[in-house]
Amino acid sequence: MADCWDDYLVLKPRDGGLRDLFQLLFSSNISKNDYIESPEGATLEGAKRRMLLFISIVLQRTILFTKKPMFWVGYCIEFLLNLVSENKNLLTLVLNMIRGKLKLPDKKSPTFRSLIGHVDHRLQLDKTIKSGDARYLAALSVMAAKLAYENEAFTKQTVNEHWKMEFIEFYDCWDDYQEALSTQAFMFCDKLVEPGLIVVAFRGTEPFDANAWCTDIDFSWYELPGIGKVHGGFMKALGLQKQVGWPKEIQQRSPPRTFAYYAIKEKLKEILGRHKQAQFVLTGHSLGGALAILFPTILAIHGDEWMLRRMAGVYTFGQPRVGDEKFGEFVMQHCFNRNQAYYRFVYCNDIVPRLPYDDKALLFKHFGTCLYYNSHYDGQIVIEEPNKNYFAPWSMLPRHINAVWELIRSFIIRYRWGSDYREGWFLRFLRVLGLIFPGLLDHNPQDYVNLTRQGTTLITSTGVETFKID
């Protein structure tokens, strides 16, 4: 047994061979397949389901094979982007080289930006959206979700100096199955003395992080008794432990490891215990959004109701599906009441919220309140985003036409809303590449920040309601 579950299917892309791949395609007997860990005698009926697992394994093996080249490509791109920004611009860079005053970037410094940070340069919160505004938590959350991609020094400086809030802790956490520090998060509060709001932001998928990509496309699942099926990759990233699953208290080992759920829970518990009026918000973009909604789920499983009552809400941006319909019903029933909210923001053709597939083969379902925005940032409250599985043939042409509009918009958006919305040369270059596969670029945080600031306001003090900002 992989863990403490009676029903599970765990993909092991490092373990099998070519024979196992073909066996998966043509045989329903998966319990003897080296790529799959499942209960003894387990079978998997349905050619489509096996084909999706086949694709997941092939993609994971390919990504793992290119892990080092991916890392070095990402390292070089980030280094070059930061080399230019550290020296202000390309011309100054050349002059500094000639004069022997070249400034080299330091990956751990408070000025080193991630690739995401170079796509969207904004650091400041929107000064027009104040605490108490119905838009405030969403606008703060998306900036925190974007900031979660940065290093600790950059994150701390941004929270303390730009936001005038209090940085609490930065987490670099262990994935027991990938055997790597692949989960990142940070915590901050509105003020250190008697904080009223604590925010926990989980990092999403870094563009050149092979482990994170494998987490996204890992179709492993676990059946939680009485709760439902949950995406295995996200469970592992949050802190699922081999052999023991989700014990209520961490079981330390040698050497000691930091698991995201347990480390963040312990700190939250300490702060909430000392400050009786404080509440907390969970947020994340992409993979970070999946971890943000799984966190209160594990609190509910462990019976930590007093902590759940102190949760102000969960705000996710471009979040993938995390479980089946039964799981969604459990989360909404046990983690949220009428004074709390789970808002799932989806921008236009973003492909990630449409994965994994919602069909009879995989059974993944979204839940909660979906706030969907088109490329004009007009929003609406929907049960499910349009074209929920993305690859419908009728949607291909409109997606590419929309990508052309987004490229045009990148040159004119600053004239509508000001210089804070200016898109730089790097993002415009990516928008050109996005003409080939538009759903990928729609996943970038830039548009999610824009829609929380200038899009249709759908959240009011009494819940969700459609109201257009001029």
Q: Which residues of 240-262 are buried (b: 16+ CB within 10 A; e: fewer)?
A: bbeeeebeeebeeeeeebebbbb
Nearest to 140 by CA among 272, 264, 282, 335: 282
Determine the Cα–Cα distance for residues 79 and 385; give it in Å rounded to an integer.
37
Residues 6+ apart with CB under 8 A from 339: none
Q: How far out from the chain centre does Cα 241 lie? A: 21
**In contact, 177 and 214? CB cutoff 8 Å:** no
Catalytic residue of the set 350, 358, 442, 447: 350
Alpha carbon 134 to chain centroid distance? Answer: 23
In contact, 214 and 63? CB cutoff 8 Å: yes
Catalytic residue among 118, 286, 324, 410: 286
366 is catalytic: no
Of the candidates 142, 131, 135, the one whose C-alpha atom is nearest the C-alpha of residue 467 is: 135
Q: What is the DSSP secondary structure assignment for residue 13, as one 8-state letter? A: T
Cα distances from 411 to residues 377, 414, 421, 423, 433, in angstroms, run 16, 7, 10, 7, 16
With contact defined as beta carbons under 8 Å apart, do 21 and 58 qualify? Answer: yes
CA dihedral 333, 272, 123, 77 (to 10 degrees): -80
302 is known as an active-site residue: no
CA distance 165 to 191: 6
Bridge partner residues of 243 (DSSP): none
Cα 343-315-372 angle, rounded to 5 deg: 45
Q: Is 350 one of the catalytic residues? A: yes
Q: Are 36 and 30 in contact (CB under 8 A)?
A: yes
Tokens matching residue 317:
């941006």
What's phi and psi for 166, nearest 5 deg?
A: -120, 115
Given the structure tokens 């941004």, which residue do they identify? 158
Numbers of helices and strands, H then E, in the chain: 17, 14
- Count other C-beta atoms under 10 Å from residue 433's C-beta: 12
Render the burial of 140-175: b for 16+ CB within 10 Å, e for the rest. bbbbbbbbbbbbbbbbbbbbeeebebbbbebbbbbb
d(C-alpha 223, C-alpha 38), whole Å: 11
Element (H, E) at 465: strand 463-467
Active site residues: 286, 350, 443
